[in-house]
Chain A
Amino acid sequence: DAGITQSPRHKVTETGTPVTLRCHQTENHRYMYWYRQDPGHGLRLIHYSYGVKDTDKGEVSDGYSVSRSKTEDFLLTLESATSSQTSVYFCAISESQGIDSEQYFGPGTRLTVT
């Protein structure tokens, strides 16, 4: 199994509070991704990183920010959580972004915003 951990694994927070989710990898892969999983939508890309301090938006980036100060860590921040951000969040990594770029996923973080 790829060495990917996510923390926390579960979190309940109140509307309007800031939340930071952490993804940590031990594979030294260049690319890291944050997805959210919602019923009927599969996984949707929030943000991704193609190197330290290099990040870009995905299809559902509103309300989220990310940071990557080290190769192994990719942080996802909800500046002011809303109920619509209740979801399961998955981090993924890949060695490349090319045509053959399979991704490896972490165990997920279940976030509930009340």
Chain B
Amino acid sequence: GDSVTQMEGPVTLSEEAFLTINCTYTATGYPSLFWYVQYPGEGLQLLLKATKADDKGSNKGFEATYRKETTSFHLEKGSVQVSDSAVYFCAATGRRALTFGSGTRLQVQP
């Protein structure tokens, strides 16, 4: 069946460091891919998306490229801020709804 695998956290970085959170997927067909972010005590917010191979989604300095050959959608940001501290979820469209990864907690220290 469909599945999404994310790197385990927590990820702890200093402010202005480079961020990568790995995400790979298995799916039949060609799903759309998403990154959602969850701040403490809140619901999930869509961060960015890509709908076909080689598409790059970007928002708020975050980027991710849909790589069909490696079935990956890694999240990157060149310089993280304390306000980026949150849990990040990778997701793929499935047969009925989204399939989510287990989430990666990011902690950015001043």
Interface positions of A (Cβ within 8 A of B): 4, 33, 35, 40-45, 48, 56, 58, 90, 92, 97-108
Contact = CB atoms under 8 A, between A and B. Distances in A.
Contacts of A58: 96-97
Contacts of B93: 98-99, 101
A58 B94 CA distance: 11
Contacts of A90: 43-44
Contact of A43 (B32, B51, B96, B100): B100
Interface in B9-41: 30-32, 34, 36
A45 B93 CA distance: 12
Interface of B: 4, 30-32, 34, 36, 42-46, 49, 51, 89, 93, 96-98, 100-103
A92 B97 CA distance: 10
23 contacts: A35-B100, A41-B102, A42-B89, A42-B100, A42-B101, A42-B102, A43-B89, A45-B96, A48-B97, A58-B96, A90-B44, A92-B44, A92-B97, A98-B93, A99-B30, A99-B31, A99-B93, A100-B51, A101-B93, A102-B46, A103-B46, A105-B36, A107-B43
B89 A104 contact: no
Nearest to B94: A45
A37 B14 CA distance: 28
Contacts of A102: 32, 34, 46, 49
